Amino acid sequence: MMRSKTLGAAIATLGLAASTTAFAANYELVWSDEFNGSSLDESLWSYQIGDGCDIGLCGWGNNERQYYQADNVTVANGLLTIEAREERNKGSAYTSGRIRSIFKGDFTYGRIEARMKLPAGQGIWPAFWMLPTDEAYGGWAASGEIDIMEAVNLGGTGGNDVHGTLHYGGSWPDNVYSGQVYTPSTSVTDNFHTYAVEWEPGEIRWYVDGLLYQTQTEWYSDNGAYPAPFDQDFHLLLNVAVGGDWPGDPDSTTVFPTAMQVDYVRVYQDPAISGDTGGETATSTQVSALSANTRRVKGSEAAEVTVVVTDDLGQPVENATVTGSLTGSYNETVSGTTDASGYVVLQSTSAIKGTVAYEFCVGDISHGSLTYDASANAATCVAYP
């Protein structure tokens, strides 16, 4: 949602077109709001009030024009409504609403979705997004931000486009972002659509109405090893901003009041991925993700393979030695040791000029206390390209 950043440093990494990544998830509903009551359920949500100045973010970091107040958030007839109005409050020309689930719904990994109908108009900026609960890697955006759905100026210069974006890197102004735009086949302002992300270790996928339109696997934090910052608890936010650096201000064509309506918000998790182990003890290791790429070395291409190792409870395994073979353009055995996140990047010692094609296969994973269960691997071999 926050847009202040060094645009020249932005990285548009929309997944690795030439890599293969495999995950398997068994999602179970763990948190939801169906908005069936007559008021906001404050056991699930908290209001954010004001113009951001009380937390040192006047204009919420984006020169937005609204003052958030609880009165603009209503629940009735099975819908949450967040309404933007042209009315003054404490120096702001507009009011709107913003709610978040911090300390009431905080999640690491899972499928997060909402069914929504969006407001139209120049200067109108609805969003369904996530922020880190504890900011383990530092201030925005070193600890990350996941924008599940944002849209600006719908029905005008924004067309029918929705955006899915990650923010990461360093603390402002050393932050960067990557993302993609998607245009649903029917109007997002006249119809309800379901917006979702599936967030797993090392991979985040964006969906509209069940259709995958974006996968991201590359990001970083200045203050933590990959997959930081997207390996910690995040909470949910819903809001409608008015004005700001991205959409610009409302104009004579903007119709007030205008509202975002939300049918439901649901969070699903796979206990094996999200870490609810129920007190069980791990006994074995497995490959939970495997991807292949190349790295440029002095004008040539070296093979680069990322292996993610977890135990049989889905937890990352540190200090596991992964050994595997490269065949094709490279013919050698490579090995390395996983970090605290269960990741190891293996690189060929040889580098080749010209077209590269290779296959990597895991041969063994050794660990001091856990045995290797090859039958549980999500993938054993991966090919490039």
212: confidence class by pLDDT, cuts 50, 70, 90: very high
Q: What are the tens digits of pLDDT across the range 297-318?
A: 888 999 999 998 988 887 889 9
What pLDDT is recorded for position 299? 87
The dihedral over CA atoms of 185, 188, 189, 195, expressed in degrees to the nearest 10, equals: 170
Rounded percentage of the chain residues whose pLDDT exceeds 70: 92
Distance in angstroms (rounded) separating the CA atoms of residues 148 and 131? 11
In 3-state terms, what secondary structure has residue 8? helix
CB atoms within 10 A of CB 108: 17
What pLDDT is recorded for position 161? 98
213 has a pLDDT exceeding 80: yes
What are the residue ranges of helices labelled H in the chain? 271-274
The pTM of the full predicted model, rounded to 2 decimals, is 0.71
What pLDDT is recorded for position 19? 35
Distance in angstroms (rounded) separating the CA atoms of residues 148 and 129? 5
Domain edges within the chain: 7-274, 284-384
The dihedral over CA atoms of 89, 92, 95, 101, expressed in degrees to the nearest 10, equals: -100
Distances from the Cα of 282 to the Cα of 272, 369, 371, 380, angstroms: 11, 9, 10, 21
Q: Which class is 284-384 in CATH? A: mainly beta
Find the mean pLDDT for residues 279-291: 85
What pLDDT is recorded for position 22? 39
Q: Average the pLDDT over each of 158-162, 269-273, 366-370 and give the range with the smallest value.
A: 269-273
Give me the CATH topology for the region 7-274.
Jelly Rolls (2.60.120)
What pLDDT is recorded for position 314? 77
Average pLDDT value for the chain: 91
Q: What are 347's two structure tokens?
A: 């690189």
Q: What are the tens digits of pLDDT across the range 6-21?
A: 333 333 333 333 333 3
Distance in angstroms (rounded) separating the CA atoms of residues 80 and 78? 7
CB 334 within 8 A of CB 347: yes
What pLDDT is recorded for position 23? 43
In sequence order, the β-bridge partners of residue 327 are 359
What pLDDT is recorded for position 3? 56
Of 266, 263, 272, 338, which is closest to residue 306 (Cα–Cα)? Answer: 338
CB 154 within 8 A of CB 191: no
Q: What are the tens digits of pLDDT across the range 25-70?
A: 789 999 999 999 999 999 999 999 999 999 889 999 999 999 999 9
Q: What are the tens digits of pLDDT across the range 102-157?
A: 999 999 999 999 999 999 999 999 999 999 999 999 999 999 999 999 999 999 99
In 3-state terms, what secondary structure has residue 374? helix
| Residues classed as catalytic | 145, 150
Identical fold, 7-274 and 284-384: no
Find the mean pLDDT for residues 82-106: 96
Q: Average the pLDDT over each of 110-119, 190-199, 239-248, 285-294 and give the range with the smallest value.
A: 285-294
Q: What are the tens digits of pLDDT across the range 251-264?
A: 999 999 999 999 99
What pLDDT is recorded for position 167? 98
